[in-house]
Structure 1
Amino acid sequence: MTSRSVKPLQGAALLTLSALLFALMGVGVREVSDTVNNESVVFFRNLVGVLFFLPLVLLRGTRPLRTGRLKSHLWRSTYGLAAMYCFFYAIAHLPLADAMLFTYSAPMFTPLIARWLLKEPLTRRMLLTSAIGLVGVLLVAKPSAALVDSKALVGLAAGLLAAFAFVSIREMSDSEPAFRIVFYFSLFSTLISAIPLAWAWQPVTTHALWLLLGIGLLATVSQIVMSKAYGLAPPGLIGPFAYLAIVFAGVIAWLRWGETPDLTSLLGAALIFAASLLAIPRRRS
């Protein structure tokens, strides 16, 4: 096994790109959710991920996808899919701002989980930047009193499970390339998410099908970029850059639907950017 590399600048840049792609995917989900249920959105998102790799299989066969760490891929897929379902449940039963808050609380957990599972270093700087970023998310999301509702535990589980997924990506990065991690996540998630369609299937229009295709492509490319990012640097070091997805989503919502952020949201965005910049070490250790 080769040792895990640490390239924080490249990892941060890739995680920023991943955040942008996730924000664009969120726009697609919002557009399609008026006519397509959550079970179908989750299934098609994962199915497109599997189809994305068909050209690779046709050109190079299954050799690039062979792995000796199937169990690790299964755990990563379990964490990721469970987080996805919890997130959709939170969207359905909580205000959207609260659901977004829970999802982007994942970087708060990643340093602790990475320390526990991978023995990654945990510094005060990591904890400080994660805390600053979470405060920024609170200001942008403006969580309501629904946070104390019992259903909020499911939303909290979404963030916690997402953190486990991020750390599992880091754990596999010493031998598994990003595309292989995303392929097995898409494959296992498609097989598992197909089960609820037995009772939740509904007809899909051509327009909705194109939206689902775009959502799946954005999600897959974003997953590949994110997996590469966490392979280049510890989650606790670059995790705050995931908060930028909320900033990107706010800008897109303003351009697409005319949703103008208020002063509190702008202050939160500033804190998110500050946390992202502070996460970059001033000098190499």
Structure 2
Amino acid sequence: MINIAKIEQKFNSLNKFNLVFASFFFSLMTLCVKNIDERIPIYELVLFRSLLSLIITLFIINLKNINPWGKNKPLLILRGVFGTLALVCIFYAIRNMPLSISTVIQYTYPIFISIFAGIFINEKITRNIIIALIIGWIGILIILNPSHLTNINVEIENFSILIAFLGAICTALAYVTVKKLSFTEDVYVIIEYFPLVSFITLLPIVLINWVTPNWNEVVWIIGIGLFTQLGQIFLTIGLKNLPASEASTINYLQVLFGSIWGILFFSEIIKINFLFGASLVLLGTIISTTKIIKRT
């Protein structure tokens, strides 16, 4: 019999390494998405990912013998809606942009979290957040500067950039709901509603527009489901055990991993503009999630 409690205890003892593993597994997920032929629609990839994640999560919930429906169902469903929208946007951005650039844009979400936390859960929007926004946007503008994109032989449509930012915004909204739910719900119930809502909402669309994947694509699709599930578990546990400032900084490792995969597998070119811009986005993330300590 699998002892979930002992496994969770070992995960908790990893502390910040939970988030390192989360970043690594999420980066592998992006690698899988990038390798799948464009004939497979994005919503079908999200559905397969959701089905695999749902099966694994329900198995764990059954072992833990907990109520799979949770307590705050409206907020759990909302978390699923935001997560689904975020994943569709992220997959679209990964497919239509260099992996390194799409990952940097996705990781503007901690700055949006600070804004939405101020709006929806009454956290104060501080001077730090305003400064972080300015620095983060400067970094993004440096990366997306037409001259920089020309130098690396890349053309990106404005629509793809818009979708990438929409993914970051939906990710931030999902995180805010997760933060609120973490006070009353089990970790795996929170995780469960994400694929559950995705599967229910996307199934009719996929059935109407079904495209049968070949065996090579099936392997990558399984990879998406497996790596995303591992990333979700490590991330959710890691967020519970670390301050937001540390968590956001460690999560940014996915940009490093994504850049490495882009260079190794897709011959992407990394230049000083990208490194400088990505560093500014990271700096904005750190500032937005760090509280000002007043000394007396």
Q: Same fold (TM over 0.5)?
A: yes
Partner SS, residue 202 of structure 1: coil
Residue from 261, 265, 277 that aligns with 1:268: 277
Deviation at residue 44 of structure 1 after TM alignment? 0.6
Partner Cα distance (2:281, 2:102) in 1: 18
Partner Cα distance (1:284, 1:248) in 2: 36
> Could you report, residue by residue, the CA deviation over 1:241-271 in whole angstroms, capped at 9, with x for unpaired residues?
5443222200122233443411212223443
Residue 232 (structure 2) pairs with residue 216 (structure 1): no
- Output the aligned Cα RMSD: 3.5
Task: Assess if the C-alpha contact under 8 Å between 1:19 and 1:243 holds in 2.
Answer: yes
Residue 35 (structure 2) pairs with residue 31 (structure 1): yes
Aligned residues, how many?
274
Identity %: 22
1:249–1:29: structure 2 CA closer, same or farther, 3 Å change rule?
A: same
Deviates more, 1:170-179 or 1:141-150: 141-150
Aligned to 2:5: none
Structure 2 gaps of 5+ residues are 1-13
1:109–1:261: structure 2 CA closer, same or farther, 3 Å change rule?
A: same
Partner Cα distance (1:89, 1:111) in 2: 25
Residue from 114, 118, 122 that aligns with 1:115: 118
Aligned to 1:162: 171
1:266–1:65: structure 2 CA closer, same or farther, 3 Å change rule?
A: same
Counterpart residue type for residue 168 of structure 1: T
Task: Assess if the C-alpha contact under 8 Å between 1:105 and 1:159 holds in 2.
Answer: yes
**When the two structures are superposed, what TM-score results if normalisation uses the length of structure 2?**
0.75
Residue 27 (structure 2) pairs with residue 18 (structure 1): no
Question: Matches of residues 66-77 of structure 1 in structure 2 within 5 Å?
Answer: 66-77=69-80
Residue from 51, 58, 63 that aligns with 1:59: 63
Aligned to 1:247: 256
Aligned to 1:205: 214
Task: Assess if the C-alpha contact under 8 Å between 2:30 and 2:94 holds in 1.
Answer: no
Task: Assess if the C-alpha contact under 8 Å between 2:19 and 2:238 holds in 1.
Answer: yes
Partner SS, residue 53 of structure 1: helix
Task: Assess if the C-alpha contact under 8 Å between 1:135 and 1:271 holds in 2.
Answer: yes
Partner Cα distance (2:57, 2:244) in 1: 26
1:233–1:134: structure 2 CA closer, same or farther, 3 Å change rule?
A: farther
Partner Cα distance (1:257, 1:154) in 2: 21
Task: Assess if the C-alpha contact under 8 Å between 1:45 and 1:212 holds in 2.
Answer: yes
Partner Cα distance (2:113, 2:58) in 1: 32
Task: Assess if the C-alpha contact under 8 Å between 1:182 and 1:223 holds in 2.
Answer: yes
Task: Assess if the C-alpha contact under 8 Å between 2:76 and 2:193 holds in 1.
Answer: yes
Deviates more, 1:269-278 or 1:71-80: 269-278
**When the two structures are superposed, what TM-score results if normalisation uses the length of structure 1?**
0.78
Structure 1 gaps of 5+ residues are 1-9
> Could you report, residue by residue, the CA deviation over 1:184-207 in whole angstroms, capped at 9, with x for unpaired residues?
111121111212112221112222
Deviation at residue 121 of structure 1 after TM alignment? 3.7
